């Protein structure tokens, strides 16, 4: 005698059973919310705000690499894995992923790479034609180590 295994599993409703049962009841749109929005009793934007997740904490400043001339770059995560590696050409940008532990940069032709933090440019990463390693790609670190950038400036030590 054979019994189908999937039938009992397929009948489970995750909104009623399991770890997410309580959370899904709180976040799921209700018929009352939808009908109140449809009838005009509740503004549509407020109804949508009631069911969508909200970000309460302001975003931390992000870091973007900006190339003014061709340069090879390698961005490594805190665990040592290569996150990004490429030859960036003039005008190319790369948004550095925001993580708890900042990534690091190794760049050839260091004078060609600048850092954009909160709309302000810092850099260059190093002297023109030199290889620069272990640049910590955290906004605070970059704004402390580098001056606001222009193409004729060098980095501070």
Is residue 120 in some structural domain? yes
With respect to residue 58, please indicate whether it lies within any of the assigned structural domains. no
Q: For residues 67 and 140, state if they share a domain.
A: yes
Please tell me what DSSP assigns to residue 110: G
Asked if 84 and 23 sit in the same domain, the reply is no
Instruction: Please check whether residue 66 is in contact with residue 113, taking contact to mean a CB–CB distance below 8 angstroms.
Output: yes
Is 151 part of a structural domain of the chain?
no
- Which residue spans within the chain are E strands per DSSP? 63-67, 71-76, 82-88, 93-95, 104-107, 113-117, 120-122, 132-136
* Cα–Cα dist 67/77, whole Å: 20
* pTM attached to this predicted model: 0.60
Does residue 76 sit in helix, strand or coil? strand
Per-residue pLDDT at 29 exceeds 70: no
Residues 80-104: what's their mean pLDDT? 94
Average pLDDT over every residue of 20-42: 54
Check whether residue 69 and residue 113 sit in a common domain: yes
pLDDT in tens, 94-126: 999 988 899 999 999 999 999 999 889 999 999
Within a domain: 5: no
Among 4-13, 83-92, 113-122, the range scoring the smallest mean pLDDT is 4-13
118 shares a domain with 81: yes
Binning pLDDT at 50, 70 and 90, where does residue 155 land?
very low
One domain, residues 39 and 81: no
Q: Which domain holds residue 109?
A: 63-145
Integer Cα distance of 77 and 84 in angstroms:
9
Provide CB contacts within 8 A for 76, sequence distance 6+: 82, 83, 103, 104, 105, 106
Is there a single domain that holds both residue 93 and residue 130? yes
DSSP 140: H
Q: What domain count does the chain have?
A: 2
The pLDDT tens digits of the residues spanning 33-73 come to 555 555 555 566 665 666 666 667 776 778 999 999 999 99
pLDDT at 9: 64
Residue 98 within a domain: yes
Q: Are residues 67 and 118 in the same domain?
A: yes
In a shared domain, residues 44 and 89: no
Q: What is the pLDDT of residue 63?
A: 94
């Amino acid at each position: 005698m054979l019994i189908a295994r999937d039938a009992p599993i397929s009948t489970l409703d995750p909104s009623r059973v399991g770890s997410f049962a309580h959370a899904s009841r709180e976040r799921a749109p209700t018929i009352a919310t939808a009908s109140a929005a449809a009838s005009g009793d509740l503004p549509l934007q407020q109804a949508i705000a009631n069911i969508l997740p909200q970000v309460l904490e302001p975003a931390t400043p992000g870091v973007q690499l900006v190339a003014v001339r061709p340069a090879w770059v390698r961005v490594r995560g805190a665990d040592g894995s290569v996150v990004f590696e490429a030859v960036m050409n003039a005008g190319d940008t790369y948004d550095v992923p925001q993580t708890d532990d900042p990534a690091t940069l190794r760049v050839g032709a260091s004078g060609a790479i600048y850092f954009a933090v909160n709309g302000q440019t810092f850099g260059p990463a190093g002297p023109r034609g030199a290889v620069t390693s272990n640049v910590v790609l955290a906004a605070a670190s970059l704004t402390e180590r580098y001056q606001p950038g222009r193409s004729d400036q060098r980095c501070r030590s």
